[in-house]
């Protein structure tokens, strides 16, 4: 008995499945051939996705890195020397005085909180609309935004070190000159000390008499 009921159930299941298939044969296909139709989604305003840094406007202030709760931003800077003019930022015309020798964001650690975006004084770090950026290797998710190579960074470090060394020599020389040209002071002598009140003072024991 169980044998025939199993056959009946199997046949009815197959018929049900085929009915569904036949019903959908003439309908519009809904399967998305990902990843070809990429821009099908309209992202909500202020969606948080991949970060981008416009290094032309970065002044190396480090505010974004300090705001990051997971420490995934690493910035290194070198002070420029007076002979170097780094110009101003395109937004807000802020004067640039630091060479940004390293600006890395580890997007594998990023939690997309956007806390780095708000404190930026030149609005050069932004969330983009790019959300598809998977990588087979984690290290590929460390984005290097600094625009200079290691040789140029080393050159700026060296320039700064030379400038500071020269400034130190100059300061030491000026201090030595000042010391050499300082006017000679009066010969040191012990100032006469005021005499202790004498018991023989005419005013001693001259209080009112009673
Ligand atoms: S979005 Fe958040 S976690 Fe990602 S880099 Fe900015 S502050 Fe750090
Ligand atoms: S806050 Fe903006 S200007 Fe300052 S270091 Fe970060 S990206 Fe550059």
Q: How confident is the model over 128-179, as pLDDT tens digits?
A: 988 888 899 999 999 999 999 999 999 999 999 999 999 999 999 999 999 9
Task: Determine the distance separating the centroid of ligand 2 and the alpha carbon of 121, expressed in angstroms.
Answer: 7
**Going from the N-terminus, what domains does the chain have, and what CATH number goes with each?**
51-152 (3.30.70.3270)
Phi, psi dihedrals of residue 25, rounded to the nearest 5°: -60, -40
Ligand 2: residues with CB < 6 A are 53, 58-64, 75, 119-122, 124-125
How deeply is 181 buried, as exposed, middle or buried, from its count of CB atoms within 10 A (0-12, 13-18, 19+)? exposed
Confidence of residue 55 (pLDDT cuts 50, 70, 90): very high
Say what the pTM is.
0.71
The pair of structure tokens assigned to 136 is 């087979």
Instruction: Work out the number of other CB atoms within 10 angstroms of the CB of residue 178.
Output: 9
List of residues 6+ apart from 130 with CB closer than 8 A:
49, 50
pLDDT beyond 50 at 195: no
Task: Determine the distance separating the centroid of ligand 2 and the alpha carbon of 113, expressed in angstroms.
Answer: 16
């Amino acid at each position: 008995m169980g044998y025939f009921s199993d056959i009946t159930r199997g046949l009815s299941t197959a018929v049900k499945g085929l009915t569904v298939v036949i019903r959908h044969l003439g309908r519009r296909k809904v399967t998305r051939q990902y990843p070809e139709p990429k821009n099908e989604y309209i992202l909500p305003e202020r969606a948080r996705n991949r970060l981008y840094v416009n290094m032309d406007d970065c002044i190396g202030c480090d505010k974004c890195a300090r705001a990051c709760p997971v420490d995934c931003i690493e910035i290194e800077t070198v002070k420029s020397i007076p002979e170097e003019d780094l110009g101003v930022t395109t937004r807000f015309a802020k004067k640039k005085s630091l060479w940004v020798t390293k600006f890395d964001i580890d997007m594998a650690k990023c939690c997309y909180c956007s806390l780095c975006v708000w404190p930026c004084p030149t609005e050069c770090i932004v969330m983009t609309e790019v959300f598809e950026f998977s990588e087979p290797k984690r290290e590929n998710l460390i984005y290097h935004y600094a625009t200079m190579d290691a040789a140029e960074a080393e050159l700026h470090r060296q320039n700064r070190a030379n400038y500071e060394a020269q400034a130190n020599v100059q300061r030491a020389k000026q201090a030595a000159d000042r010391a050499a040209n300082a006017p000679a002071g009066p010969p040191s002598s012990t100032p006469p000390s005021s005499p202790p009140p004498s018991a023989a003072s005419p005013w001693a024991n001259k209080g009112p008499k009673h």
